[in-house]
Structure 1
Amino acid sequence: MKRIYWNAFEMNCVGHINHGLWKIPGNKRAHYKNLEYWTDLAKTLEKGRFDALFLADVVGLYDVYKGGLDTSIKEAVQIPANDPFIPISAMAHVTSNLSFAVTFSTSYEHPYGFARRMSTLDHLTNGRIAWNIVTSHLESADKNFEVKQYLDHDEKYDLAEEFLEVCYKLWELSWDNDAVSLENNDCYASPSKVHKINHKGKYFNVPGPHICEPSPQRTPVIYQAGMSERGRYFAAKNAECIFLGGKDIDTIKWFIKDIKNKAFSLGRSQNEIKFFMGLCIITGLTDDAIREKIELYKAFWSVEGNLAHYCGGQNLDLSKYEKEDILNGSKVTDILDNLRKIDGKWFRVITGKPVEVVNQIQSIIEETDIDGFNLVQFHSPHTFEDFINYIVPELQNRELYQKDYSPGTYREKLFYGKHEYKFNNFYYNPPKDI
């Protein structure tokens, strides 16, 4: 059986994906603003041998449902939400092997400052950092960042391509490997080995050089999560790890096949990409214990919160339509029924005792050829604790989960040892005067 990677899926907010469940007695989601929440989580995940903590983020507001923000605010639908970057250095300090994938949008900030932020985290984590690239789709984000020229969906990916090109040049070309020499008492770094990048493009003009010396990975591991046609092309061109949307097996299989074909046509090896899907697990040692958890989650499930999230993401206010109206090929009543179910959102839900759960996971792996999973929470931190206590031992018995960490950076852990980012061989041709 091939190596399978496991990420914990989180967000620096109260209500991430499964809305309303923060109200469950004992749920610690409201403690997201306390540093101990994050350091305790990191220690738990490393004890459970998770590969990484995947931090989602959003910089806009879900303000479409019922024409405003009221529902999102009342139900804590990704508001309030703090910066996902800030807790990482503290979590890295209390762990040695857990990696961190953090989401950042290319649409609103400048690549020069962002490249510095990522290099800093790569240094502080000793090479355990990844960047999940998004382009953002909420109109409220465009307004709050005072975007002067609104870009359509595909144009945002054009900007993202150049954003990456600037970052690649700063990370990979600005400093020679031997630019810093601590043995040389005359200077910290050799000026002749630190270069400007002289980037001039449609969206950015960045002379450089990079303000940071090379970090352990130089370029962080690149994740991407866009599933549109343009997003899949972008992923096939740039990403090392791809987080797939959808819960239907046939959909996941189609996404993987399509992206692999695109990557191959662009000159990439299919072995250079790892595919991840979202997964929710409800488990216990007895049927009664599992049933109690399901009923508990149903009792606190917020239909209004899930409606606010869905409508914001679709830019579609369902409150304006009748139940029998057809939208995007589905009746409004069917959409509503789907949002009422705890297994009816964006990710596949598996319930059962440990052997039953792992049987289903193994079946998914065999059917889809998936490389890993982002584990979604219902109850913080009980979902992760249940997974570690009940599911991990059975996964390990079937060699579907690591028993110990391998050495090296996050990229080296993903790609079996020494592995450098191959941007020079494929992603763009650097100007000859650099």
Structure 2
Amino acid sequence: MKTSINKKNTFTRELNVIVPWSSLESDFKKEFNAQKKKYKIPGFRPGKAPNSIVKKNIGPAIEANFAEISLNKFYQEALRDLEIVPINQAQVKKIDFKENSDLTFSVVFEVSPEFNLPTNYQKKIKIKIDQFEVSNDDVKQSLDELRVNQSKLESVDAAEMGHYLYADFQELDDSGIAIIGSRIENQYIKLGDGNFNKVLSKPFINKKVSDKVVVDLPYGDKKISKFEVSIKKIEKQILPELNDDFAKSVSKDLKNLNDLKSRLKDNIQSNLNSDYEKRLQNMIMDHFINATKIEVPISMQANFLENMVEEEKKKNSEKDINEKEFKDKMKPYAEKNIKWLFIRSKLIEAEGIKLEESDTDKFISNTIKNNKEQADEIKKYYDNDENKNNLQSNLITDKLFKLLVGYSNITINKKSTDELREKKNEK
């Protein structure tokens, strides 16, 4: 067997193969005789027709079938000999075979793209990043959320700003007639909050149960729709007092309100630190993606986008999506992720990063130790090979980023979350 490889680009290969008749003759005769036994023609018992008649009538079909079988066999053999690993299914560009002749074929497929990591990358990673620190307002906001979660609702006679209304909404046409099929029942709204801002809530102030209020509200694709709102219940939110007893109700191991505030502060800072780590990793990823000349294999991009479409359909099963527009929109995201997939792999190889079995066992043990009540579920989860493989991949990635962070020249701009809130309010 003779083989030759043509490089179309950094990831596309054309494999040309010539298999001599001497390597095919024995198998072809077996295939011919097998088909001859099955062949039926008037005037002859099955399998007894002369070779000349069999070749005349079904010879081309036997040759075509044998060529296809042989192509798969010698294609795999050529890949092993050349130590090539395709990343997609090969396309047959040419195949030629007749009895007593060589088998020749050409196939095109994609491989992992050829590229080089940036030279001296260990000394060229420069990052400027904001790092946020928890503020007193963060703690206050968390305390308010806890109080809301433990609040109670109490019925009142008349509605005020901040009260909850339990009501039915009937859409009306321009003449004030109810639109059949456009009624929304048993809805909870909070006056002065969310969609019901102070302006929209004003007509409901001082209204009572059984009152009906006609208002213009934003609805669906229409800018404004007229609704008749039938009030069924009015409730006031009663928040628990913020004291040591409240802290103990949140968690039995808290002794007083100061303990609760300290824990909330630590938890918020932990989340901010996690966010910082993710942003730092993304900036390092972007550095390598921008600094590395690498092409994205067409088949990988197509598969990535197709998977994204399927995921989007699952998330929005009731909504039709324009697949072409969605794929065009997500194409840069797909390219970025595929590029990083290859860069990550080459960095791990270049740095000689390996994962010991003890690393995996240690992580699982620590997870169980910190979540004793879910010990059985955690063991069962990581007994699954796919889940365990994903964990190992994540642990290797963690090792890689720890190394890359060590190489990086990082300029940290420390800020309070108050600054972050101010910017959001400005927008």
- Specify the structure having the higher radius of gyration (Cα): 2
Q: Relative contact order, CA 8 A, sep 6+: which one is greater? A: 1
Per the TM superposition, whether the score is higher than 0.5 is no
Which is helix-richer, 1 or 2? Answer: 2
TM-score normalized with structure 2 length = 0.21
